[in-house]
Every structure is written in C-alpha cells, then in structure tokens.
Structure 1
Amino acid sequence: MEETVVPQPVTIIQQEVVERPDKKTVEKEKTELIQETLPRVFTILTAGGQGSGFLYAKGGFIVTNAHVVSGYTDVIVKNSVGREAPGKVIGISDKYDVALIQSEAYKNLVPLASEASDTKVGTEVIALGSPNGLQNTASIGYLTGVGRDFVDEYIYDKVYQVDVQIENGSSGGPLIDAKSGKVVGINSLLLNKNRRFGFSIPLYSVTPLIEDWMTNPMTDRQVAAVAGVYDYYLPVGSYGNDSDSDNSYDYYESYETYDYEEDYEYDEYTGDAYFYDEWLGDFILEFRTEYELALYHESFNWIDPYLAPGSTAYWEYADYLDEISGEGMLFEFLENRVTDVQIFDNHSIVSTYETFNFRNNAGQEKYYEKEKEYTVVIDMDGSYRIADVRSK
C-alpha cells in the first residue's frame, strides 16, 4: 500500500502499547490507517465554538453531535489541511446527540466505511478529531464497556465506554476500529468525575435517523426551531404565547419571503409582534458575535439575516465588508455590553458599549472604545432587524 502524505502532522495519543514481536509492522499499519482517515475528518466551526465531524456518505454528508451545531443553520467545515468550506445543517435531533451537515465542497470525496453491528468490549479503537482546537489528533485505546445509559441534555442509550482521550472539540468525531478502519461510534461526552473514560454513540443505532435526513433534509427554520435560538422572532398575532400553535416551526419564516422596497420605512410592519427589552438586548449581542465572524471571513452572509434589506445599516455594512475584503485587517472584540433599551411605537433603540482591537495590513494596532445606538424594527415576518447604527 502506498503511504498517503498528509500536509499537517499527525498527533497520536497512545494510551497503551502492547509489546509484540511484530510491533513495528502493527504500528505502521495503524499510522497508515490514521493518515487515510484524516482527510475525511473535519473541524466544525460555529460562532459559539467548535467540534468535530466525519464524512458519512458521498454527497458531502457529514455527521457530528447535535450539541456541536445546536442553534446554527450554517457552519464552517475545515478539513485536515486547513481548507475551510461552508456547510449547512440539514438534520438535528432534540432527543439524541446527533446532527447531519451537508457541504458541497466534499460531495465527491469517498466517505468512511461504517460498522453496521455491535462492537465488542476489548476492541482496539481510535478516536479522531480536534480536541482543544488541536487538529489531526488521534487517540488510541480500547472499547472498555457497552450498554451505558445516560440522560444529560440528550438521551444517550447503550453507548460505548472507551478509554481513549476525548476532550472539548473531540465531540462529533469518529471512533474507528483500529483494524478494519470502519466507524463504530460518534465521540460525544466525557465523564467529568473520571477523565479516563469517554463515551461514544454507536453509529449503527442512529443510522436510520441520519439516512432519513439525507432523504428528507430539514429546512433552516426547522433546524433553528430545535434549539429555539430565534426565540426573539415572534409570529404575527403571537403576543409571546404559542399555546394556539400546533407547529412550532411556523415561528421561523424564511428571510427571503418579503421583497422590500429600496427605501426602508419603519412603519412597513403593522402586525402584532412586539418589542421586549431582554430579547432586544440578546438580539444585538448575537449580531455582534456574527459580525465578528463576518469580519474574520470577510463575508456579508454572516450578518445579512440581522439587517433590514434596503436600510441604511444594510448598505453600510455591505459596503464596508466589500471595502475591507482582501486587505488583511484583523479585529478582536473585547467587550460588547448593552447599556440601554428604549422602545417606541414602531422601532426600538438599543444602546451599547463596545471595545475592540484593530490591526491593519501594515501590522499597526489600535484600541477602540465606542458607544453605539442600534435602531431595531420588526420585519414583515415578525423578526427583529437592524435598520440603522449610529455612534454616540
């Protein structure tokens, strides 16, 4: 077998080495297996953090944990050589800790093979992922228990217990059989009281769920509704009470459903959704988080859903991101704090205190301290949108 060369180094955490006469041969095969697997293992990046994932099926279908992508419909998928590509969450469970991403960038890549039945105690296994941000990490150990049941944020039924090292960032990565190379589980959680043990969801147990999402992908609003991340978007006539609704997904209308006129006016919306100070504050803080990602990736798409199309804020942010694209500027947000919320008949003003470091392409750094006022309006679908931003 010709050895595959991986541009980034492979970090192997060897839990236990059993001395054998043919040790060198065994270790070489294991290294080759890891190197062949890593191109199909990814770091999953969101505004809230990162995790891991792996290529489950051809077409760019990537499996990860639900808790890795919960609250996000769009993610960044980073491969073993550092290439970043967009990914879309097309399936997520509110019961089991599993989710499915699709990324067009990897649609022609051959997926990892999957184990279709139980894996036995004593099987040597390898966990791959990005623990604590360290890409291309492989941890070798053994499957030490089966049939473990837990209830945390999710239900973990009959999961595998392993003694491989699983840390923050490992979640969603594959657990593979060290001999066959097949994926036997999804690395999911660590027992805090004893960090020697980790737990992995048997892949075969969630295969029907994954393949159903492949055939019938969830919509953005269905994915968002699972986490309730857009709770500040109120439906027309709701008054904050969903007791009359039979389908919670009705609360999350598409951002493209309304064609705004070129000049946005605050009184375009005349429905029954309303402003609430706590939701307004959360909305602006979430926008600031997405704005930092927009600056980092030099992409307007990160903040487009937060801005009123055709408004002053919309064009100012779009023009600025276009202006800085390719200039090598770096922004480090230090503090984002809501200082005041004022609610009027057809708009609200959210005041903030913001600090950040800025470095230009010449390497010159400067510290900024600003107070801003965000004008927030209610969209035709009952969503909050930013129409104007001014510095005090």
Structure 2
Amino acid sequence: MYCPKCGHKNTEDANFCGGCGKAIRAVRNTKPIFAMILALWIGGLSYGYATDWSFRWPTETIASVKTKFVSKDETELNIKKAPTVVNETKKQVKDKTELIKESLPSVFTIGTGDGSGSGFLYKAGGYIVTNAHVVAGYTDVTVKNSVGKDFNGTVIGISDRYDIALIKSEANKHVKPFVTEMKETPIGTEVIALGSPKGLENTASIGYLTGLNRDMEMDFIYEKIYQIDAQIDHGSSGGPLLDATTGKVIGINSLLYKDNTVFGFSIPMHSMQKQVDDWIDEPMSNKAVAALFNVYDDYVPESYQNSDDTSFDYEDYGGYDDSEEEDYNYEEEPETEEYGDDTEVADEKVEYFIHDFRNQYEAAIDHNDYDYIAPYIATGSSAENELIEFLNELSVKNEFYEFIDTSVTDVIYTNQSIEVYTYETVNFTKEDGTVQFLEKKKLYTVVNDEYGNYQIQQISNQ
C-alpha cells in the first residue's frame, strides 16, 4: 500500500505511513457506538424510575459491619495500637514496684521472747500497729526495720477483745506513715500484703480482696473482716494490707484459714482506727498492758527489772486498780486537760498532729483527693475552704510539690485555741519543668472538736 501523501510503500495492514507518519487508513467512527450506549443508559434510568428502583449507594447494615473485611491500612493501624496496651501494662507493673519499694521502710518485723510478727507505721511519731496476738503479754518488744536494724519498742495499747495492738518506737518517729483508707474496700480490689512470713522480711504478695463481712470468734472477736487470696503465713500477722492502686492501708493481716495459705483474713483498718487513736491520745501503762494477758508467767517487764520489787505476778493484777499504781516503778505520761497547761507532753502531741497532717496533705496533693486531710480540718472553717479551692486549682495544672521538712518552731496556748508556728521546706516543680525550692513560715490555728480531737481551723502565713 502506497501513502497518498508522500508515495511511500507500506504494508497492507499499516494504519500510518512509515515515511511521513500520516494516516493512510480511515479511522473508524466511534460516535454511533457512544450514541447507542447513551440511549441504553437513559432507557434503563427511565425504567428504574417507573418501577421504583433506588439508585442510591447501599448503606451499611449491622450484618455488613460484622462481615466487613479489614483493609490493609486498618490492619496496620491496629498493629500500631498494640504496643500502647503493652506499655500501659508495663507502667502498671512499674507502679506496683515503686509502691512496694516506697512502702517497705514503714513496715517492721516485731520480735518478742516468744516469736515474731509484723507491724506498720500508722502515724508519725513512731506509732506502729500490729496484732494483739503478736505482742500479747509483753510490754517491751524489738522493732526491726526493712534494712535489718533493730530498735526498742513499747506496747502502749492492746485489746483482749479485738486482735489489735499499738507499739511506740521513738527511733522511728520521723519515718513516713501509711495513709489509712477510711471506707470499706469493695470486693475484687487488687491488694498487696506486706510483712515477714516465716521470718522472711520484706516480703510482698499480690492478690485480690475476695470476700467481705466474714465474722469469726477464736481467741479474739473478728467482725466484718476481709478475705484475701494474697499469700500470707505465720509471721505475716500485723502486717499491712494495701490497696494496690492507691497505696492506702485497708487492713491488718491477721488469720490463715486452717493453716492453708491459699487464702487468709485481714481486719479492716477503718474499723479499728478509733481505738488506735484513743491509745495514741491516752497510752496504756506498762502494768495495764502486761496484766491484760497472763500468758507468760515467768516474764518480768524490763521496766520492772530495775525496781526493788521484781516479784511480778499476773494474778495480783487480775482486778487492775488505778489506785495501786503508786506502789510500782513505771513511767506514766502526764495528761493535759487545759490549753493553759503548756507542758512538754502537750507540745509533743500537737507536733505529732501537725506532722501527721503534713504527711497526709502531701498524699492529698499527689492523688488530688481532699479525703486524705478531711479528718484534720474543722468543718466549715476557712482552712477547709482554702484547701479545697487549692486542690481544685491544682487538678488542672501540671505542677508538683515534694515536701522536704516541717519543723514546729513554737506552740502557744490560748483560751480558745492552740497556735502552732512552723518552718516548712518544699520543692515546687512548675509547669515548665523548672524546680524551685520554697521556704515558708506558717501559723496553724488548732481547736478541739466535740470528741476532743485536734482539728485545724485556720492556716496563715507568718
């Protein structure tokens, strides 16, 4: 075939000239085909309208969602989300590790001539809670801390009805106490039991609160106690049971079920709090503590051994009478009924109260929870209003406070209140991450509530 334009010879099936590139075969007209397709589409549209077809895109139904395939992009997105869950789990484990690490310095092994148990710091000033059966019959005990150092301790409160006792250890009066949960803890809460089972100090076991309101009566009466599956054993008695989330003490580990360590029982701390506070306010004498349990017939309290009369006999004190106290050589702390009695003991009680408040106040800031300090503040007072307002403001800020020290510099008694002057140091971390060292001088106005307990009415700067 020759090109009509340039005369170049081409093959028979060529559409374009190999010489000039011009078309040498008529191009097929596609317009009739396009017109036919358009006519068919218009016809179908008209028929669909007449028969009430819907020409909308189909919507997703419940069934289609259930059977929907995941696209490649969605699959990759899900894979990227998985490490976040893993990281959160690691963070939770780290939090428990830190919680146990921070708690152990406030947990002790309590030793007597008859064996050992556990105890924990309940309030600043060296006040250690344990079980009555751990120290029954003894007034002088050994208190061993988490690093293995021994200190002297004196039992200043014990009950022959409920299985609780209180020890005072002067050497540990500046150790940070635990925060106590003041309400019943719900079943299913994750818990941590701390103590010295079988004498193995610094032992921590994790489990759950598996039962509530268990009542038992053996040597003591146990009412509405907690059932737990955290591992405890002989020697765990008196140790703290912690809420694994908040770190608060919720119970005193006390009983095993038929020597089976699969589960045990813990006395709710909130149910014993008033009794313990009463002992702090009015400690029992050595003689009263020793006479309550005539278990160790050959035991003579150390405080009696330096006296001329060492013929201590528990039978003689079965009917304990305060009028006979002057015949024996033991220490009895003086009591103060009036604010005007500016004694060393009264100053010490007020100082312990302020230190305890500051410890709880730091916990309130850390958890942004006013309940930590509510028992220390007079209801309806200016202190209550200011502290609630401060915590509300802090909840929306990224600021942190680390309390360093609080020193009571003076205590002044008036007819209406007690004025407590303090010098306080704090590390304050601002929202931009910078840390500022703060020194503050404050005045706490303290009053007594209807039960005679101290409460803060006003806090002001000096």
What band does the TM-score fall into relative to the shorter chain?
A: 0.5 to 0.7
In structure 2, relative to structure 1, the CA distance for the partners of 1:89 and 1:193 (3 Å cut) is closer
Q: How does 1:3-152 map to 2 (within 5 A)?
A: 21=86, 22-152=88-218
Alignment correspondent of 1:203: 269
From 244, 252, 255, give the equivalent of 1:189: 255
From 250, 271, 278, give the equivalent of 1:212: 278
Q: Is contact 2:291-2:317 (8 Å) kept?
A: no
Q: How does 1:348-359 map to 2 (within 5 A)?
A: none
Q: Report the AA paired with residue 273 of structure 2.
A: T
Deviation at 1:61?
A: 0.2
SS at match of 1:196: strand
- CA distance, structure 2, for counterparts of residue 215 and residue 119 of structure 1: 27
Q: Is contact 2:161-2:220 (8 Å) kept?
A: yes
1:254 maps onto 2:328 in alignment: yes
Q: Which digits, 9 at most, give the CA deviation of each residue in 1:139-177, with x for residues without a partner?
A: 100000000000010000000000011101100000000
Deviation at 1:26?
A: 1.1
Deviation at 1:195?
A: 3.0
Q: Is contact 1:43-1:53 (8 Å) kept?
A: yes
RCO greater where, 1 or 2, for CA within 8 Å and sep 6 or more?
A: 1
> Which moved further from structure 2: 188-197 or 158-167?
188-197
Q: Report the AA paired with residue 76 of structure 1.
A: T
Q: Is contact 1:44-1:77 (8 Å) kept?
A: yes
- Tell me the C-alpha RMSD between the 2 structures: 2.7
Q: Report the AA paired with residue 142 of structure 2.
A: I
Deviation at 1:248?
A: 9.2
Q: Report the AA paired with residue 206 of structure 2.
A: I
SS at match of 1:117: coil
1:222 maps onto 2:305 in alignment: no
Q: Is contact 2:288-2:320 (8 Å) kept?
A: no
Deviation at 1:247?
A: 3.6
TM-score (norm 1): 0.56
Q: Report the AA paired with residue 181 of structure 1.
A: G
Q: Which digits, 9 at most, give the CA deviation of each residue in 1:302-327, with x for residues without a partner?
A: xxxxxxxxxxxxxxxxxxxxxxxxxx
TM-score (norm 2): 0.48
Q: How does 1:155-166 map to 2 (within 5 A)?
A: 155-166=221-232
Q: Report the AA paired with residue 202 of structure 1.
A: P
In structure 2, relative to structure 1, the CA distance for the partners of 1:27 and 1:104 (3 Å cut) is same
SS at match of 1:88: strand
- CA distance, structure 1, for counterparts of residue 317 and residue 198 of structure 2: 39
- CA distance, structure 2, for counterparts of residue 77 and residue 178 of structure 1: 25
Deviation at 1:193?
A: 6.2
Q: How does 1:284-303 map to 2 (within 5 A)?
A: none
- CA distance, structure 2, for counterparts of residue 42 and residue 181 of structure 1: 17
- CA distance, structure 1, for counterparts of residue 184 and residue 203 of structure 2: 25
Q: Report the AA paired with residue 162 of structure 2.
A: Y
5+ residue gaps in structure 1?
1-19, 258-392
- CA distance, structure 1, for counterparts of residue 296 and residue 323 of structure 2: 11
Q: How many pairs were matched up?
A: 235
Alignment correspondent of 1:153: 219
- CA distance, structure 2, for counterparts of residue 85 and residue 197 of structure 1: 32
Q: How does 1:352-371 map to 2 (within 5 A)?
A: none
In structure 2, relative to structure 1, the CA distance for the partners of 1:118 and 1:132 (3 Å cut) is same
In structure 2, relative to structure 1, the CA distance for the partners of 1:158 and 1:249 (3 Å cut) is farther
Q: Structure 1 or 2: larger strand share? A: 1
5+ residue gaps in structure 2?
1-84, 301-308, 332-462
In structure 2, relative to structure 1, the CA distance for the partners of 1:225 and 1:36 (3 Å cut) is same
Q: Is contact 2:286-2:330 (8 Å) kept?
A: no
Deviating 4+ runs (over 3 angstroms): 229-236, 240-243, 245-253
Q: Which digits, 9 at most, give the CA deviation of each residue in 1:272-317, with x for residues without a partner?
A: xxxxxxxxxxxxxxxxxxxxxxxxxxxxxxxxxxxxxxxxxxxxxx
Alignment correspondent of 1:172: 238
Q: Which digits, 9 at most, give the CA deviation of each residue in 1:95-141, with x for residues without a partner?
A: 00000000001111121111000000000000000000111100100
In structure 2, relative to structure 1, the CA distance for the partners of 1:87 and 1:119 (3 Å cut) is same
Q: Is contact 2:110-2:119 (8 Å) kept?
A: yes
Deviation at 1:196?
A: 1.1
In structure 2, relative to structure 1, the CA distance for the partners of 1:77 and 1:246 (3 Å cut) is closer
Deviation at 1:194?
A: 4.1
